[in-house]
Structure 1
Amino acid sequence: MQTFHLPDVGEGLTEAEIVAWRVKPGDDLGINDVVADIETAKSVVELPSPYAGVVGELLVAEGDTVDVGTAIITIADAGADPSDDGAPDAAGASADDGPADAPAAEEGGGSVLVGYGSGGEASTRRRRKKQENAPAQAVGVLAKPPVRKLARDLGVDLADVRATGSVGEVTRDDVLRHAEQASVFRNISTPEWPAVREEKIPVEPVAAAEPVLSPPGRIESIPVKGVRKATATGMVKSAYTAPHVSVWTDVDASRTMEYVKRLKASPDFADVKISPLLIVARAVIWAVQRTPTINAAWVEEEDGAKIHVRHYVNLGIAAATPRGLLVPNIKDAQDLSMRDLAKALERLTITARDGRTTPEDQRDGTITITNIGVFGMDAGTPIINPGEAGIVAMGAIRQKPWVVDGEVRPRWVTTVSGSFDHRIIDGDKISRFIADIASVLEEPALLLD
């Protein structure tokens, strides 16, 4: 009997949540077959098995968060009784000796799951390919891991959801539609007040991710882990390390709205989603080129602090997802054409919405845009993403009275705001940067420079 411990999957992992098991006791298992979906601080990833055999016992429940090195599953030799505890038989052999072709793996904490060897690889390749191309099945229901996670977050039982997917799987829209109709909600964004009036925070760690309520209660306690824990840690570090300064200005964005309308009508952009965010992204890249220190980072080195100015733009877009706030970035955005930038923004949005954003997507950002306008907000003072020196907030674009040539006219008006690390950037450069973005929104033809 082999015991598989939670490994470090290669991103400095210290703990992870078991989002969903892909196997059950008695299942046949090949080397590299996926046993579970785990959620780290940055992404949901598949966890492959380093052993071949028969699934014995699942030692951790779905929803539990455990440390690296924790035993999570037992795997018996093929043909062995999975309930066998591994005691020596009459010949003195133990099931823990493992199959002859199984690779050696450390069972101590902190081991990295790498190098499964060639044994068993060919025999499991076809099965893995099938798993990768088909939605995962849980309790008789076909659904991809991000969809199952969304259902769990919304309190939806997948068995009750009518599936509309092409192969009979439950889709994200199916879950949202069911949740919208469920009696516990009036709608997704405005849940009813709980019947209980008071909540008591338990002394023992919470096993599941669901809110914990103790009647009578008015306060709801949600365990802080995964993306929320990583976000909180990063934001506290940023807020109390980098001295923030924020500025903002109102902008007549009427010509930007006309430009967006023309792009939508252009055959060259027929298959791409176009929005004002595309123009804002292009404006930020243009403004960075004119004020490069906006795109810098403060780095503590052995011989003292340094300012690293990046002469490239990995443009981060803050995304509100079912898993929390993520900031994937578009690598080398300065090299992209308007069409390629539009496609990159579309891919980023779809990937984040579907819960497929990877840790690599979020690494090495240089400056971030947060589009608070989609929530109806006009301006804000956002916290800088760690490792960067500035973040731009784009407000809602609304028709407002605006003075043009001495006359009051209805115009499309927005507010551009931002926060910056005052250790790196002085007020004049901050103001120039925001003014440059505003200038492009007022006259997109500046992008032809």
Structure 2
Amino acid sequence: MAKERFQSFGLATPPALDVIPADEAVALLKSGKATRNALLAYGNGRSYGDSCQNEAGMVVDMRPLDRIRAFNAETGVIEAEAGVLLSEIIAHAAPYGFFPAVVPGTQFVTLGGAIANDVHGKNHHRRGTFGCHVESFTLLRSDGRTHYCSATDNERLFAATIGGMGLTGLILSASIRLMRVPSLDIVETATPFRDLGEFFELAEAADQANEYVVAWIDQLAGGHGRGRGLLFTGNHAEHGSHVALRAGGNLSVPFQPPFNVLNRPFLTAFNAAYRWKKGRSTAPRQVGYQGFFFPLDGVGNWNRLYGPNGLFQHQSVVPEDVARRAVPALLAAAKRAGQGSFLTVLKRFGSIRSPALLSFPRPGFTLTLDFPNRGRATLALLKELDHITVEAGGAVNPYKDARMGDDVFAASFPEWQCLEAIRDPGFMSSFWARTAKKLEAGCGAAEAAE
């Protein structure tokens, strides 16, 4: 049997070599003997970049912490250990008429990972980020102490841990508020748009009228079809299922092919077929929640289709007042580079503030692009996308990143030093080492020169 590889989902960064089970990590931390930069929690490996890797130390396999401890069927507050998957929370709460207020694009994230990455979904304009619905959590730090954190208890640790990429300690368990829904099913509408200008005209009204809104862009379309796509809206159906389906589909990619299957000819054909299938009718249709929220979960190990070099995901957010210029510029840069994105998603972030010290979502429009890793050519494109984003006053998502420079991180998150100040010295990630710690070293050198 092949040894399990603790990799990021993008498969473009080296796997973790040193892995420690959660119970051993807890014992080590409680003893107060954890060394500097020794640990980092690893949930279910759905982060695309190296924020879930710790090249300098060990990663902690959190999946054994998988118990749901309590659920209040009146209030929708659920308490669970950090390794519980979102799919398991959905299955537990659905019969009582509750659903997570915020879900990302996969249900196979752990509770601890959802908090540490302050994940967002298709309803940021209505519900904010995942962190907005965290009641409390317990955090074990390398001084051996366990801290109960909430908006009123250990407030600084609470804010720093939400969106803190696992750098403030080990989340052991958490309580979150779910939202009451009439059913799990979604009434979905797909509205075709001819170009980005038409999308922007539709976006605000769609947000005002719907719980969930997201757009798919045919990134490879040229000529008169440039910027075309489909605007999906959704709301929970008044009458539908309250039973969670078995997580995942029947299809799986059994091995990693020696080349990228998702090449340009495939993507061109796929985009045309997808646009025809989803956009042929604008009438509302009732669909299952898994197909609406987690379409890619239906194919196990789909990331293997990118071949041995993996993929990079680039997610940016730009302010609303410059989005009509910046979003087309981002798409044009990718097209000039001849790079095809398998999944290109555009949506609007609202103004609901996260309780997190660092959080990626902010008012504006966010664009997500997936690129096969073609080495220097792809890295050069990603650097250009970073430049366009930062010049527009936007930010690049660190939770999905595997290569951004420290300058881009500082421009995206000028408050990074606040997290560094409260970071547990026993915890480190490969991402933090190549961005924040490099910035800190530069600051120290500058001060010494003065």
The answer, yes or no, to whether TM exceeds 0.5 is no
With normalisation by structure 1, the TM-score equals 0.26
Structure exhibiting the larger radius of gyration computed from Cα positions: 1
Q: Which has the higher contact order (CA 8 A, sep 6+)?
A: 2
With normalisation by structure 2, the TM-score equals 0.26
Select the structure that is richer in helix.
Answer: 2
